[in-house]
Amino acid sequence: MRVPTAGDARTIFRLGLPAAVVLAGLCLASPAAASTPTDWPDTDPVSTLRALLIFGGIPLALGALIALLTLAPQIARGSPKGDSRTWWGEPVWFGGPAELAESSVSGRKALSGDADVASRSTGSTAVASAPKPSSAGSTAIIAMSPDLAPGTSTAKVGGAGARW
Amino acid sequence: MSELTFHVFVGATGDEPRAAAQASQAALPDAGTAVLMFVDPPARALEIVTGPDAHQLLDDSACSLVALSMQTAFVAGDLAGGIIHGLYQLGEHARRPESLHTAGR
């Protein structure tokens, strides 16, 4: 008679363990296959409208409530878009000449007084139509420099812009 | 080294941030190799302007990517972080391509 070896024990264990797991799962889940008890009272079927209200309306209402609570502080403060009063800081240059800071404060001086500098330096007017900020709350615009499309002369300024 | 100079302006400028940014960039002493990052918080505007020479290394696509990254930070309210990371990214994009066939000679 052949004596079982350690390899045989491992084989039995490998086959028996999955089978035991499957059997245990079936035994534990057997109550789910039971039919409805006969002593339970019969209730009226739920109408479609009522089901929609319960399973659709309540989640939607909860979502709207959470969104309202999230956005309430911002709504109470008002939209800061375009409101210059929300920015109190002085203009700051990092790595730029100090005299440019004042000319850029108003923007008008930079546009009129430095326009000739721009044309001399870049060989063009170097003034492009800026993309208008979107009227939507946080809709973003990414715009490449309109005066440096691929294939145009490289003796112009380039860059990109964004709104947030 | 890219030999570009990076400048950052943060402040209110007016109704035309792009035009103001280009005028300011052109007024820089090293306008050809200057890269100006122009941030207008009241107008919620960001402009990156590259000079003619800087544009050879830093094309508009790279600037758009950096602007998108900065915009994401600005929307979240992180003005300083967006500027810092934008500068890092501009510096990384502005590397000159290495000429391997001339190396070691």
In order, the DSSP letters of chain A are -PPP-HHHHHHHHHHHHHHHHHHHHHHHHGGGGPPPPTTSPP-PPPPHHHHHIIIIIHHHHHHHHHHHHHHHHHHHH---TT-GGG--PPPEEESS-HHHHHHHHHSHHHHHHTHHHHHHHHSS----PPPPPPSSSS--EEEE-TT--TTS-SSS-EEEEEE-
Question: Which pTM does this prediction carry?
Answer: 0.52
Quick one: pLDDT at residue B7? 93
A8-22, A98-112, B36-50: lowest mean pLDDT where? A98-112
Query: Which residues on A lie below 8 Å from B7 (Cβ)?
Result: 93-96
A120-129, B70-79, B84-93: lowest mean pLDDT where? A120-129
Q: How far is CA B57 from the centre of its chain?
A: 12
Q: DSSP code of B33?
A: G
- Average pLDDT, rounded, for chain A: 69
Query: Which residues on B lie below 8 Å from A142 (Cβ)?
Result: 64, 67-68, 71
Quick one: pLDDT at residue B6? 92
Residue B55, pLDDT > 70, answer yes
Q: DSSP code of B10?
A: E
- Compute the C-alpha angle B57/A92/B90, nearest 5°: 20
Query: Which residues on A lie below 8 Å from B14 (Cβ)?
Result: 106-108, 111
Copy the structure tokens of residue A148: 């440096």
Quick one: pLDDT at residue A86? 61
Task: Report the chain B residue with the minimal C-alpha distance to residue A107.
Answer: B13
Residue A79, pLDDT > 80, answer no
Distance from CA of A73 to the nearest CA of B (A): 15
Q: Assess contact for A121 and B55: CB atoms under 8 A.
A: no
In the block, tokens 């400048």 appear at B7
Cα A5 to Cα A8, A9, A13, A15, A21: the distances in Å are 5, 7, 13, 16, 25
Average pLDDT over residues A73-77: 81
Average pLDDT over residues A84-111: 61
Q: Assess contact for B71 and B63: CB atoms under 8 A.
A: no
Average pLDDT over residues A36-53: 88
Q: Assess contact for B35 and B7: CB atoms under 8 A.
A: yes
Contact A163 B46 (CB under 8 A): yes
Q: DSSP code of B101?
A: G
Q: DSSP code of B28?
A: S
**Best mutation target, A79, A84, A87, to test chain B (most B CBs within 10 A):** A87
pLDDT tens for residues A138-161? 344 555 554 444 444 445 788 888
Q: Assess contact for B48 and B63: CB atoms under 8 A.
A: yes
End-to-end alpha carbon distance in chain B: 20
Q: Assess contact for A160 and B64: CB atoms under 8 A.
A: yes
Q: Assess contact for B32 and B62: CB atoms under 8 A.
A: no
Distance from CA of B26 to the nearest CA of A (A): 5
pLDDT band at A132 (very low <50, low <70, confident <90, very high): very low
Residue A164, pLDDT > 70, answer yes
For B19, residues 6+ apart whose C-beta sits below 8 A from its C-beta are A111, A127, A128, A130
Q: For B13, which of A104, A126, A144 is closest by C-beta distance?
A: A104
Task: Report the chain A residue with the minimal C-alpha distance to residue B33.
Answer: A157
Enumerate residues 61 to 80 of chain B having a beta carbon within 8 A of any beta carbon in chain A: 61, 63-64, 66-68, 70-71, 74-75
Residue A117, pLDDT > 50, answer no
Highest mean pLDDT among A58-62, A95-99, A140-144: A58-62
**Best mutation target, A74, A84, A100, A144, to test chain B (most B CBs within 10 A):** A100
Give the C-alpha separation, B80 to A128, whole Å: 27
